[in-house]
Amino acid sequence: MKLGYALAVMALPAATQAFAPAPVAQRNYVGPSALSVAADDNGDKMMGPERIAQSAISTLTASVLLASSVIGGPVLPVQSASAASAAPVATKSAQPAKKAVPADPLAAEKKAVSEAKARMSEAQSKVNEAKKAAADASKAASRDNDALTAAEKKAKSAKETLLQTNDKLAATKAKGNTADLKQVEQLGGKVGVAKDALKDAEAQLAATKTKATASNKALSAAQQKVSAADSANGTAGKSLKQAEDKLAERTKQVQKETKIAAEKKKKADKKAEKEAKKQKKIAEKKAKKAAKEAKKLAEKQRKIKAEQEAKAKAAAAKKAAQVKAEEQRLKELQAKKKAAEEAKAKSTQTAKAAAAEIAKEAKKIESLKK
């Protein structure tokens, strides 16, 4: 009885291994070991039909996993397309990068214009200051020149008075009249007064002339400063115009470059968009192909698994039937043995009874012979 179960257990792995692919060296898959032996109520190591079928399915699963490694795919459970698409994807939210402020291509030219305007403003301020100083100097010189003219007229008048008085004195003296002595004395006094007046007028004229000369020199210097300020202002104006012209020219150039860059960017964006659409189509095509291949592979694995499970179930059923037949045969043999033993026991009793009868008859015959 035990020998029949042992043969069934030994035959099952060989049957399932017939459908398993060759082992792959780089994979260390640990499949189910030899079929475990269940203990019955009497403690004997027995293998039942259900236990045989379960062990066969476990061996089949190991064969399917090894088959996937031979095909080239990873030893993983096959998922449907909907399950794969529903799987959550862990993504890290990207932090928005700070947008860099582009440099102003006209910064240098704008700075030059700003500095030229500052110099122009400073030059104009100096012109205004020089003109104001020149105006003040002109007023002072005009006032001093008027005073000089008045002093000159006064000195001239004093000189003419002195000459006239002196001429009268000389004419009176020339007459030689005694009666004119008093008049000569009076005229001599007037000549003295006229001399003093002329002296004072000449002194005032000299002072006024000195002051007017200084004022005229100051006016000339102020006018020179105005001229220099005007010249500097003209130079600053030219520099400002040059800076503004350069800014205008550079602005046109930058606008042209910006337009060209925008057109290039537009073309590049259009090309990139076209390439992106192309790559998207390629990716979608590859994804569809991969999904189709995955579906095909899954179907193939499902068929292999179904075939192997069917074969394993058939083998298990066959072995179970063999076990059942062996059990039935064993029962029949045990029944025959029991019947034989019972028949033997009955035959022995009959023989003993016959022997007793024979002995009894022998004794009876012996007794009769006596």
What are the tens digits of pLDDT across the range 165-201? 888 888 878 877 766 678 888 888 888 898 999 999 9
DSSP letter at 38?
E
Lookup: tokens for 249? 């020219």
For residue 89, which phi and psi values (nearest 5 degrees)? -110, 120
- The helix-helix angle for 2-17 and 49-71 (nearest 10°) equals 20
**What's the burial of 68, exposed, middle or buried (CB within 10 Å: 0-12/13-18/19+)?**
buried
In tens, the pLDDT along 41-84 reads 444 444 444 444 444 444 444 444 444 443 444 444 444 444 44
Q: Looking at the predicted structure, is the pLDDT value of residue 7 above 70? A: no
Measured torsion, CA atoms of residues 327, 331, 337, 342, in degrees rounded to the nearest 10:
160
Q: Is the pLDDT of residue 160 over 50?
A: yes
From 300, 75, 76, select the one nearest 292 (Cα to Cα). Answer: 300
pLDDT number for residue 53: 43
Q: For position 182, what pLDDT does the model report?
A: 80
Q: Which two tokens stand for residue 30?
A: 């640990």
Give residue 70's pLDDT.
38
pLDDT one-digit tens code per residue, 310-350: 888 888 888 888 888 888 888 888 888 888 888 888 888 88
Question: How far, in Å, CA of 87 to CA of 92, rounded?
Answer: 16
Q: Which of 231, 156, 168 is nearest to 201 (CA)?
A: 156
Task: Name the residue with higher pLDDT: 86 or 121.
Answer: 121
Q: Which of the two residues, 286 and 5, has the higher pLDDT score?
A: 286
Residues 198, 128: contact at Cβ < 8 Å?
Answer: no
Structure tokens at 211: 């002051």
Question: In the numeric block, which tokens belong to residue 301?
Answer: 């694995």
Q: Which of 189, 109, 203 is nearest to 155 (CA)?
A: 203
HEC sequence for 115-150: HHHHHHHHHHHHHHHHHHHHHHHHHHHHHHHHHHHH
Question: What string of DSSP letters covers 56-125?
Answer: HHHHHHHHHHHHHHHHTS-S-----HHHHHHS----PPPPPPPPPPPPPTTHHHHHHHHHHHHHHHHHHH
